Amino acid sequence: MKHQFLKVAAASPELKVADPAFNAQKIIEIIEAQHQKGTELLVFPELGISGYTCGDLFLQKTLLDGCLGALKMIAESTKGYPMLVFVGLPLAVDGKLYNCAAALCGGEIKGVIPKTHIPNYNEFYEARYFSPAPGGTRRLPFGGEENDGAAFSAELVFRDEDHPEIAVGCEICEDLWAPASPAVGLVQRGASVIVNLSASNETVGKREYRHKLIAAQSGKNLCGYVYASAGVGESTSDMVFAGNNMIYENGTLLAESLPFSGEVCEAEIDVGFLLNERRRNNTFRAETAGSDWLDARFVTEGDLTLRTVDPTPFVPHEAGERFERAELVLTAQAHALARRLSQIHAKTAVIGVSGGLDSTLALLVTCRAFDLLQKDRKSIYAYTMPGFGTSKRTKGNADALMETLGVSAFCVPISDAVLVHFRDTGHDPAIRDTAYENAQARYRTMVLMDVANETGGIVIGTGDLSELALGWCTYNGDHMSMYAVNCSVPKTLVRHLVGAEAERLGGEAKSLLLDILGTEISPELLPPDERGGIAQKTEDLIGPYELTDFYLYHFLRRGDGPAKILYLAERAFAEKYDRATLKKWLVNFFERFFSQQFKRNCVPDGVKVGSVSLSPRADLRMPSDASAALWIEEAQNL
């Protein structure tokens, strides 16, 4: 797949116990169908060629010979297909019987993996028939034309010849449940995806536990995990099998088939993201794989067809999860601020309130913090500081918000003072350039700092993560505070948090907050237009915040480069922005992100609430003078 996505599937085909020829035909039918869909990795259940519930028939040479013949027939069916296929069968090797997974590709049996952990409890009596995997690697007297037989080992890792970073390891059923899972060693040898051929029976509560196991296995090993389990064709003498197939990526469920449905489970695993996570995580230790690596050709250049690309990765889509996320973030912000206020024995909190989203959220959080500390909200000193560009709507909303929340409200008009400052510095106020705008922001910060000194308090910062990413703040103006509660909250999440508080508070507060949400985002540093409306619209100047947040998330959280980010953005915003628009703002994002690092290197303390933060003390160690040339060149040439 393009950009290191791998298209995978798990299937539980129709099955007849102890009928290898029938089972092979059903497996081949699915292989052919999945080839048409562009699947690159396909996994079938444990002992799927024979059936898992054969019992003492496993000891019959007739069945074993039939399974081996069926395996060769299935392998032949993969000839010419760029697909790595795993099928399960019993196999006799050196006088012992093993529960095995065979890896097939291009018409060859690339390798055979014996099961390591053999269960012998409850309804499972595999130890009656099967031996655990022996150590080392040996060759079996069958396989592809280009080798001397198939490799036989529990430590095999199959990697694509042209994309060696896409590598697959295999464990079988009970291996997942064991304390010392083979997957750990396999990922350390380079496997980025683990497959599991399983025959896990269905009982009350087991499905939920199975989900937890696979989520943990894929999460702690920073890998993709493709799980295929036996289906309804197995014998029901003592057990029933539901064909629970699941695909996980780093602890996140990508797809699953419904129990007893017979559905093929399909998804696209982002191997590039997994490799980035491994580079970032210094507790993940890789080892040299050596001779246990086997090459195959199974990665293609097909497009994404299954994976939904989320246009708002910082904001959950399910209503219940959205509310839970909002409450968690707001509570984290409030507790962090409360701790700082308590630590320094602050008497007041001083905050500038503009009537915009960021200062609204900061004020809501400050109120929560004061409530936690059982402090009177009147000790929150909230200031409006109308200047050259302040509109009636934002000023009115700011005043109403302060009154509704019960804080101490003050107004300090700054226009006259800034004009005096212009005279002192020799700036012509008719020239509405950066100096004209920033003088207002810096004067406002000076007012707040002085009030904080006067009242024994601290200034609460209002700037958000998206503004920091783009450097959309005035150095030593709104860039500076004594505690920045919003510094790790992206703009798309700011909107959601304010909306969540509107629903929680209800009444007049709700109406007010919804009006603030509906106001055009602007720093309001330029005079209003001829109709009195906001003239300076932020998103016209630096791009839509939903794109900024999308680019920021994929660049920092998932480690994606410009080409992959644009590829994903085209799918996430297909109905809203054309390619040229997406590319324009992508180039702008990288230009601003690199050039504005100097502002982020001296930002105040602020709580981290999500997976992305730009704090120079913890999350982003980046030189201010780093060149953006590589990223911009790639983006411009797309």
pLDDT in tens, 583-637: 999 999 999 999 999 999 999 999 999 989 999 988 899 999 999 999 999 999 9
Both structure tokens of 634:
């790639």
* pLDDT tops 90 at residue 465: yes
- Percent of the chain clearing pLDDT 90 (strictly above): 83
Strand spans (E) along 271-418? 293-296, 348-352, 380-384, 408-411
Domain boundary at 296, 328, 345, which? Answer: 296
- DSSP state for residue 127 in the 8-state scheme: G
Average pLDDT over residues 88-94: 96
Q: What is the pLDDT of residue 384?
A: 98
Query: Could you confirm whether 173 is annotated as catalytic?
Result: yes
**124 and 271 share one domain:** yes
* pLDDT tops 80 at residue 459: yes
Q: What is the pLDDT of residue 537?
A: 83
Confidence of residue 144 (pLDDT cuts 50, 70, 90): low
More confident residue, 262 or 413: 413
**292 and 324 share one domain:** no
Task: State the Cα angle at 288 between 284 and 294, rounded to 5°.
Answer: 115
Q: What is the pLDDT of residues 210-260, one digit of tens each?
A: 999 999 999 999 999 999 999 988 988 888 888 999 999 999 999 999 998
Please check whether residue 312 lies inside any domain of the structure.
Answer: no
- DSSP state for residue 250 in the 8-state scheme: T
Taking alpha carbons only, the member of 245, 253, 210 closest to residue 45 is: 245
3-state secondary structure of 486: coil
- Please state, in angstroms and rounded to a whole number, the distance separating the CA atoms of residues 289 and 186: 9
Domain boundary at 234, 261, 296, which? Answer: 296
Taking alpha carbons only, the member of 296, 200, 226 closest to residue 43 is: 226
**437 and 514 share one domain:** yes
* pLDDT tops 80 at residue 531: no
- Please state, in angstroms and rounded to a whole number, the distance separating the CA atoms of residues 66 and 526: 82
**215 and 362 share one domain:** no
* Single-letter amino acid code for the residue at 121: Y
Query: Could you confirm whether 46 is annotated as catalytic?
Result: yes
**94 and 60 share one domain:** yes
Q: What is the pLDDT of residue 1?
A: 72
3-state secondary structure of 461: strand
Sheet hosting strand 380-384, strand order edge to edge: 408-411, 380-384, 348-352, 457-461, 483-484
Rg (CA), the chain: 30
Both structure tokens of 532:
């009195």
Check which CATH number belongs to the domain holding 171 and give it.
3.60.110.10
Check: CB of residue 31 under 8 Å from CB of residue 23. no
Task: State the Cα angle at 347 between 346 and 353, rounded to 5°.
Answer: 90
Q: What is the pLDDT of residue 385?
A: 97
- Please state, in angstroms and rounded to a whole number, the distance separating the CA atoms of residues 330 and 485: 10
- Please state, in angstroms and rounded to a whole number, the distance separating the CA atoms of residues 427 and 442: 15
Long-range Cβ contacts of 412-419 (<8 Å, 24+ apart): 412/383, 412/384, 412/385, 412/447, 413/385, 413/386, 413/387, 414/385, 414/386, 414/387, 414/440, 414/443, 414/444, 414/447, 415/386, 415/387, 415/388, 417/443, 418/387, 418/388, 418/443
Q: What is the pLDDT of residue 554?
A: 97
CB atoms within 10 A of CB 371: 12
Confidence of residue 408 (pLDDT cuts 50, 70, 90): very high
Mean pLDDT of the chain: 93
Please check whether residue 400 lies inside any domain of the structure.
Answer: yes
Please check whether residue 454 lies inside any domain of the structure.
Answer: yes
Please check whether residue 194 lies inside any domain of the structure.
Answer: yes
DSSP letters for 161-226: SS-TTSEEEEEETHHHHSSS-HHHHHHHTT-SEEEEEE-PPP-TTHHHHHHHHHHHHHHHTT-EEE
**224 and 285 share one domain:** yes
**222 and 80 share one domain:** yes
Q: Which residues pair with 496 in a beta bridge?
A: none
Active-site pick, 7, 26, 40, 46? 46
Q: What is the pLDDT of residues 346-358, one digit of tens each?
A: 999 999 999 999 9
Q: Which residues pair with 138 in a beta bridge?
A: 152
**291 and 345 share one domain:** no
Q: Which residues pair with 266 in a beta bridge?
A: 9
Please check whether residue 305 lies inside any domain of the structure.
Answer: no
Please check whether residue 44 lies inside any domain of the structure.
Answer: yes
**124 and 171 share one domain:** yes
Domain boundary at 253, 281, 296, which? Answer: 296
- DSSP state for residue 4 in the 8-state scheme: G
- Estimate to the nearest angstrom the gap between the alpha carbon of 147 and the chain centroid: 40
Confidence of residue 204 (pLDDT cuts 50, 70, 90): confident
Please check whether residue 314 lies inside any domain of the structure.
Answer: no
Confidence of residue 441 (pLDDT cuts 50, 70, 90): very high
**292 and 325 share one domain:** no
Average pLDDT over residues 51-69: 95
Helix (H) or strand (E) holding 228: strand 224-229
Active-site pick, 7, 26, 110, 115? 115
Active-site pick, 67, 173, 265, 487? 173
* Single-letter amino acid code for the residue at 67: C
- Percent of the chain clearing pLDDT 70 (strictly above): 98
Q: What is the pLDDT of residues 37-59, one digit of tens each?
A: 999 999 999 999 999 999 999 99
Check which CATH number belongs to the domain holding 460 and give it.
3.40.50.620
Query: Could you confirm whether 108 is annotated as catalytic?
Result: no
Q: What is the pLDDT of residue 447?
A: 97
Q: What is the pLDDT of residue 288?
A: 59
More confident residue, 317 or 379: 379
**359 and 274 share one domain:** no
Indicate the number of domains in the chain: 2
* pLDDT tops 90 at residue 120: no
Average pLDDT over residues 469-477: 95
Helix (H) or strand (E) holding 98: strand 96-105
Please check whether residue 302 lies inside any domain of the structure.
Answer: no
525: which residues sit within 8 A by CB, 6+ positions away? 387, 388, 389, 436, 437, 438, 440, 441, 536
Q: What is the pLDDT of residues 297-334, one digit of tens each?
A: 999 998 999 999 999 999 998 888 889 999 999 999 99
**292 and 323 share one domain:** no
Both structure tokens of 559:
């480690």
* pLDDT tops 80 at residue 148: no
What range does the domain containing 88 cover?
2-296
- Please state, in angstroms and rounded to a whole number, the distance separating the CA atoms of residues 286 and 172: 22
